[in-house]
Amino acid sequence: MKLNGNVPEGDLKTLWEQHKFNMKLVNPANRRKFKAIVVGSGLAGSSAAASLAEMGYNVDCFCIQDSPRRAHSIAAQGGINSSKSYPNDGDSIYRLFYDTVKGGDYRAREANVHRLAEVSGNIINQCVAQGVPFAREYSGYLANRSFGGAQVSRTFYAKGQTGQQLLLGAYSALSRQIKSGQVTMHTRTEMLDLVMVEGKAKGIITRNLHTGSIDRHAADVVLLCTGGYGNVFFLSTNAMGSNVTAAWRAHKRGAYFANPCYTQIHPTCIPVHGENQSKLTLMSESLRNDGRVWVPRKKEDVAAIRKGTKTAKDIADADRYYYLEERYPAFGNLVPRDVASRGAKLECDNGLGVNDTGEAVFLDFSAAIERDGYEAIKARYGNLFDMYQCITADSPYDVPMKIYPAIHYTMGGLWVDYNLMSNLDGLFVLGEANFSDHGANRLGASALMQGLSDGYFVAPYTVSNYLGSNKQETVSTDMPEFEAAENAVKETNQKLLDINGKQSVDDIHKRLGKMMWEYCGMARDKNGLEKLVKDTSELRKEFWSDVSVVGENADLNITLEKAGRVADFLELGELMGRDALAREESCGGHFREESQTEDNEAKRDDENFQHVAAWEFKGVDNEPERHIEELEFKHCIPSQRSYK
């Protein structure tokens, strides 16, 4: 089946403004009659909940953390993109649009990306009004820096804490609505099922993570803002609580899952240091503004560094291979993340990795410190340098960082149309939980932009349009659909508790993560992906027969929480393998070794794969059905990406 993105007709430059005018409105006096459920309280969730409540809608907002301030959005470090062009260096709405489409390797819907670029300036205005402490120039103007995939400086930042500061701004708006009574906040509460009534999303089933209570919640519309699924790899830069469960349970109720194999590998992370590690730590892409990436040219120098008989400082500049600068002179160290990550992998595969495992490259700030001075570099990156030193005991002021790519973000997600509504009536999906804006690779500093765009400037219009265009029948949690969904959740939880196996949840999750990284990580091929589909299916069956889930259902039970999430990751991992196997091309973060240029760059197949792949769930043991949405490019004509 071919999907329709419901993109309105018209000139791309005025498309969103005209669409807003054509959408149905809800009278302010009538908005209090409607209720919206917002699942997730990160940037997309908090901004959406606060905006809808400010308009007069009643909102129930849910998060698994003890406060919305602990949502994973706080982990974003480097900045947020906007086309304001304060440095007067040639930026524009169109250039941000073009860079984003190109950066995603021409696998995103043009209309959605242009809208994102169009509202990006409003986001900065909104956040400044909320008091977000963006960095400023001496003159008082907001400062900008550069990120990968762009030749202009368009990234606004708050030192290395941009995500945290933006979330505090959104949280302040949300808190205002909580105090006014327009938002009811449900913390430490996890969505475990979506309730469909006569083909429309009308509520959710949740579990109180403190008491174990299974509860029903009804509304006129449901918004999922639950982030990405990078923890399917076990080791990622995501918070350990980040999961796919809300989106996956919606998928099992009929929502299509789009492009699940599109995962982003971030090139600047602290390398894995042991078998017992539980997560990885991001080092912001902003560091590549001043840090130079290199490895020794000579393998004898590599061996000496690994043995400890030489340090990075002992390697003469002529013997340093600044491989990004040499391969991509136009962009240098600021190539997009997929390109930089594959570059690091290639050099480490060639035996030039500089740590004990052979999986690390240097990120060196010595030239920047010599050029700009210690205090200037400290002002830009001080908290990031401190974080690195706390973890590794090395000071980046004195020695280069050691970095290696790691799973960071997922471009795939639930399929949505131009209005951010899934194929399920009344189910909207915002932020990283949807697939819509980044194609096969996200540019740095664009995640925060998308989350706030969706929550502040898109969903308030499109949700109102949905409510104003469709008669909303009264929905009660006493309806049989709610009872059936609640019983299904209880049965699943009890089934997990009754297995009484020998393997821990974390052990099985770790095995899944190794499979995913090996066969669906930075490089993929047909044989590996076929093995992944087979192995994840077998591991899933092993999980349901031999996992150990201790404790009670009706109580605080962290093991039960993890078990439910890993059960969903196991099913997702199999789907990711199928999606990567079906997409017989390379594009962005999806790199099929059979499809590459002579220079080892990703080689697309536009004739056969210029489309979105959206998968329909057909049962746990049944093969899913693959639907497509054709992508049409009228403004950004696809070409072989080049950053040279």
Hey, which residues are catalytic here?
337
Q: Nearest-CA neighbor of 332 among 293, 295, 300, 361?
A: 293
Q: Which two tokens stand for residue 477?
A: 């949690």
Task: Compute how many other C-beta atoms are within 10 angstroms of the C-beta atom of residue 213.
Answer: 13
The residues near 169 (Cβ < 8 Å, ≥ 6 apart) are 127, 130, 131, 132
CA geometry: angle 193, 479, 39, nearest 5 deg: 30
Only one residue has tokens 């469909």, namely: 196
Taking the C-alpha atoms of residue 336 and residue 150, their distance in angstroms, rounded to an integer, is 8
The residues near 357 (Cβ < 8 Å, ≥ 6 apart) are 271, 272
User: How do beta strands 401-410 and 320-321 pair?
Assistant: unpaired
Taking the C-alpha atoms of residue 297 and residue 34, their distance in angstroms, rounded to an integer, is 64
* Amino acid present at 224: L
- 571 within 8 A of 590, measured Cβ to Cβ: no
Q: Counting Cβ atoms within 10 Å, is residue 525 exposed (0-12), middle (13-18) or buried (19+)? A: middle
CA distances from 109 to 106, 630, 635 (A): 8, 9, 11
Strand, coil or helix: 626: strand
CA dihedral 151, 156, 158, 161 (to 10 degrees): -70
- 221 within 8 A of 36, measured Cβ to Cβ: yes
What are residue 596's DSSP bridge partners? 602
Taking the C-alpha atoms of residue 86 and residue 136, their distance in angstroms, rounded to an integer, is 11
Sign for the pseudo-dihedral over CA of 39, 40, 41, 44? negative
* DSSP label of 530: H
Strand, coil or helix: 267: strand
Taking the C-alpha atoms of residue 370 and residue 276, their distance in angstroms, rounded to an integer, is 38
Task: Compute how many other C-beta atoms are within 10 angstroms of the C-beta atom of residue 347.
Answer: 21
Q: Which two tokens stand for residue 56?
A: 């007069």
Taking the C-alpha atoms of residue 70 and residue 131, their distance in angstroms, rounded to an integer, is 19
Backbone angles phi and psi of 410, in degrees to 5: -125, 120
Sign for the pseudo-dihedral over CA of 102, 122, 444, 65? negative
- 65 within 8 A of 195, measured Cβ to Cβ: no
Taking the C-alpha atoms of residue 127 and residue 130, their distance in angstroms, rounded to an integer, is 5
What are residue 191's DSSP bridge partners? 206
Taking the C-alpha atoms of residue 463 and residue 465, their distance in angstroms, rounded to an integer, is 5
User: How do beta strands 35-39 and 361-364 pair?
Assistant: unpaired
- 636 within 8 A of 114, measured Cβ to Cβ: no
Strand, coil or helix: 521: coil
- 47 within 8 A of 57, measured Cβ to Cβ: no
